[in-house]
Amino acid sequence: MAQKVPRLKLAKSLDRSLIVIFVAVISLAAMGWALLPIAGPMGHVMMLFPVVTVVYLLAGLRAWHRRPGNRLGPLILFGGFAVFLSGMGNTDIPVFVAASTIGATLILAVIVHMLHAFPSGRLQGRISKFTVLAAYLNSLLLQAPGYLFRADGDVPFLAIADSPPMVALAQWLQEWVGAGVMMATAFVLIRRLVQADKDQRRVLAPLFAYGAFAAIFVPLGTQVLSPLLDMSVETNAMLQLIVIGGIPLAFGHGILRGGFAKTGELEELGSWLGASGGARSALAAALVRALGDPSATLSFWVPRHEVFVNDDGSPAPLVEPGTNRGQVEIVLGSRTVGAIAYDATLIEEPALVRAAGQVVAIAVDRERLTVELRESHGALQRSRQRLVDAADRERRRIARDLHDGLQMQLVLLALEAQQLAKSAGSDSGTIDRATHLRQGLDAAAAELRQLVHAVMPAALIERGLAAAAEDLADRMPIPTTLELEITDGSCASAVEHAAYFVLAEALSNALKHSQATQIQVRLHVEEGWLRLEVRDDGKGGADLHVGTGLRGIGDRVDVLGGLFDLASAPGEGTRIKVDLPCA
């Protein structure tokens, strides 16, 4: 059972902080509801401001709670503040009206920021950083002439002069800078989609598409769509708020589909290691939780072969440069003990992964010894498998040479002896000797055929395991029932050959030692395993440590990584069960 990661002081402190933020934002939304003219002619629009603010609040808090080290959650909360700020311009309180006028288009910059920062919460690359900076300057700096040089505006007390040309120039610049920001954003997003793998693209494509649509729709809704579609101011405002309100939902959906696992701090990871002992089955899972990356994998360094391996001893896949995967080595002292591979688009800073590696270094080193032993055992198994394959190849060669060479010569000699016995002019003594010679050659050829069959039966080579097993059962002098549920080729040839010789040895033992009157054989494939069971009704008492037959079965099964079970209580017959992996 997986061990629960304890919630320590740092995580509990975060939980309390998020509760305080929740109460504060709910209070702001309630204040907005009280101050906005809900009962006025634009009441439906006014209601949407606090509602959308709460939507941003809930989505941001959830993202922040699930990934405390990711800045996306706080960024979504900041977007909610921008929505609240823009709505307060509809009140009759001068301070709120002034703040709303200053940050009227701030939400557009926040949307651009979220698009560039998803999924890591950090801006990646100079283009993204410059574009987001331009978006904020466009929303705040180029917005300023609209109220600083407009004496008849909503906040005349902020005006320092009355200059309509300056206002017009600022608006023109704001439109063009906004267009440039959106073009740069489109370039970055398309490039990320191209570089992303199939699973990431399924998450990023709809999210980026909706975010870009929202960032374009809000400014164009008033300038283009309203005149074009003859929409009222109220309808346009409602549509804009609905589109903006969908932003945190889209990002929240992306976070869940993108596999943002709930994370704690590295302190919690260290505490968990101390409590659990760093069990192998849970160590990688704990790293996944701590990093918030479900694709993170842990590998172990085997210095003898200078290669990273998985926990089952198989070689770990290499992380190619220029891909979306990153890798950080785990170092203990001056020794490399393992590595963590992670999603570089999800975790931009390798320092976080490196810090997690330092926390688990001792546990990884301890587990590395086990993995190295497992890898050595696997190498030994593969070596023994190669020996079995080589022995089978040699069996086939010997059987072929005996059949095509010596056996054929014996047949030809027997034919010559027969011709000699029937030749005209031969005396009776010569005929008797020739007849006796032919009989001896026939007997030798028959013995040779049996030897060839024992070395590598033709039925096994030519027709497969099922036919060879039927042939064995038919040759038994006592009743033998055979139940087959296999198809030829369902297992590797070495496995089928091993199963045949195990069956042959089991039947031979039953015939020689058990005094059985009947034998039952079942051979079938189940869940990637070739399963063989041989039962007899003999006297039982078979001992694995007496004789070489049963030991030979055990050795052959062990070489292939199979399972061997013997049950032979005195007076209750003998049951042999063998399971061999088909692969």
pLDDT one-digit tens code per residue, 190-234:
888 787 777 677 777 888 888 778 777 777 766 666 677 777 777
Domain boundaries of the chain, sorted by first residue: 9-124+193-257, 266-378, 389-455, 460-581
pLDDT score at 268? 43
Q: What pLDDT, on the 0 to 100 scale, is given for residue 7?
A: 46
pLDDT for res 383: 57
Per-residue pLDDT at 520? 92
Long-range contacts from 25-32, C-beta under 8 angstroms, 24+ separation = 25/53, 25/54, 25/57, 25/77, 25/80, 25/81, 26/54, 26/57, 28/53, 28/84, 29/53, 29/54, 29/57, 29/84, 32/84, 32/87, 32/88
Write out the CATH class of domain 460-581: alpha beta
Predicted pLDDT of residue 269: 47
pLDDT value for 276 = 44
Find the Cα–Cα–Cα–Cα dihedral 232, 235, 240, 243, rounded to 10°. -150
Cβ neighbours of residue 244 under 8 Å, at least 6 residues apart?
52, 83, 107, 111, 214, 218
Q: Where are the alpha helices (DSSP H) in 36-71?
A: 43-66
Smallest Cα–Cα separation from 293: which of 330, 249, 344? 344
pTM here? 0.50
Tokens of residue 420, six digits: 């000699």
Residue with tokens 């089928």: 496
Q: What is the DSSP string of 228-278?
A: HHT--HHHHHHHHHHHHHHHHHHHHHHHHHTT------HHHHHHHHHHH--
Strands of 307-309's sheet, edge to edge? Answer: 307-309, 297-302, 335-343, 325-332
The amino acid occupying position 336 is T
Which CATH number is 266-378 given? 3.30.450
- In the chain, which stretches have pLDDT less than 50? 1-10, 259-281
- Name residue 460's amino acid: L
The tokens describing 13, both together, are 């402190």
Q: Is 486 left (phi over 0), alpha (psi -120 to 50) or beta?
A: beta
Would you say 570 and 540 are in contact if contact means Cβ atoms under 8 Å apart?
Answer: yes
